[in-house]
Amino acid sequence: MDNVNRIIRLPEVCGRVSLSRSTIWAFCRAGTFPKPIKLGARAVGWNEAAVTAWIEARTTDQGSA
Protein backbone atom coordinates (compact mmCIF):
# COMPACT_ATOMS: atom_id res chain seq x y z
CA MET A 1 0.00 0.00 0.00
CA ASP A 2 1.35 3.40 -1.01
CA ASN A 3 1.18 5.86 1.92
CA VAL A 4 2.58 8.88 0.07
CA ASN A 5 -0.70 10.82 0.29
CA ARG A 6 -1.96 9.47 3.61
CA ILE A 7 -3.19 12.11 6.05
CA ILE A 8 -2.46 11.51 9.74
CA ARG A 9 -4.11 13.26 12.65
CA LEU A 10 -2.41 14.96 15.60
CA PRO A 11 -2.37 12.00 18.03
CA GLU A 12 -0.49 9.90 15.48
CA VAL A 13 1.86 12.80 14.68
CA CYS A 14 2.61 13.19 18.40
CA GLY A 15 3.39 9.49 18.66
CA ARG A 16 5.63 9.47 15.60
CA VAL A 17 7.73 12.49 16.54
CA SER A 18 7.59 12.00 20.33
CA LEU A 19 6.62 15.61 20.93
CA SER A 20 3.65 17.18 22.70
CA ARG A 21 0.75 18.82 20.91
CA SER A 22 1.86 22.28 22.03
CA THR A 23 5.42 21.73 20.81
CA ILE A 24 4.19 20.57 17.40
CA TRP A 25 1.97 23.65 17.08
CA ALA A 26 4.86 25.90 18.19
CA PHE A 27 7.11 24.33 15.54
CA CYS A 28 4.35 24.87 12.93
CA ARG A 29 4.08 28.55 13.88
CA ALA A 30 7.87 28.88 13.68
CA GLY A 31 7.88 27.23 10.24
CA THR A 32 10.11 24.36 11.36
CA PHE A 33 7.49 21.60 11.08
CA PRO A 34 5.26 20.67 8.12
CA LYS A 35 2.10 22.75 7.90
CA PRO A 36 -1.17 21.00 8.68
CA ILE A 37 -3.81 20.43 6.03
CA LYS A 38 -7.28 21.75 6.83
CA LEU A 39 -9.77 18.87 6.66
CA GLY A 40 -12.85 20.64 7.92
CA ALA A 41 -14.06 23.48 10.11
CA ARG A 42 -12.31 22.07 13.19
CA ALA A 43 -10.09 19.30 11.85
CA VAL A 44 -6.55 19.23 10.52
CA GLY A 45 -4.12 16.52 9.54
CA TRP A 46 -0.58 16.22 8.27
CA ASN A 47 0.79 14.62 5.15
CA GLU A 48 2.46 11.44 6.37
CA ALA A 49 5.31 11.73 3.87
CA ALA A 50 6.09 15.28 5.02
CA VAL A 51 6.20 14.20 8.68
CA THR A 52 8.42 11.23 7.80
CA ALA A 53 10.76 13.51 5.83
CA TRP A 54 10.93 15.89 8.82
CA ILE A 55 11.87 12.99 11.11
CA GLU A 56 14.53 11.77 8.68
CA ALA A 57 15.99 15.27 8.35
CA ARG A 58 16.22 15.56 12.14
CA THR A 59 17.93 12.18 12.50
CA THR A 60 20.35 13.07 9.67
CA ASP A 61 21.21 16.33 11.45
CA GLN A 62 21.91 14.40 14.66
CA GLY A 63 24.22 12.00 12.85
CA SER A 64 26.39 14.83 11.53
CA ALA A 65 26.68 16.66 14.89
So what's the pLDDT on residue 60?
Answer: 84
Looking at residue 41, the DSSP 8-state letter turns out to be T
Cβ pair 57, 34 in contact under 8 A:
no
Q: How far apart are CA 47 and CA 35, in angstroms?
A: 9
pLDDT-derived band of residue 3, with 50, 70 and 90 as boundaries?
low
Q: How confident is the model over 15-57, as pLDDT tens digits? A: 999 999 999 999 999 999 999 999 999 999 999 999 999 999 9
Inform me whether the pLDDT recorded for 12 exceeds 60.
yes
Amino acid at 6: R
Q: Can you give the pLDDT at residue 61? A: 72
What pLDDT score was predicted for residue 28?
98
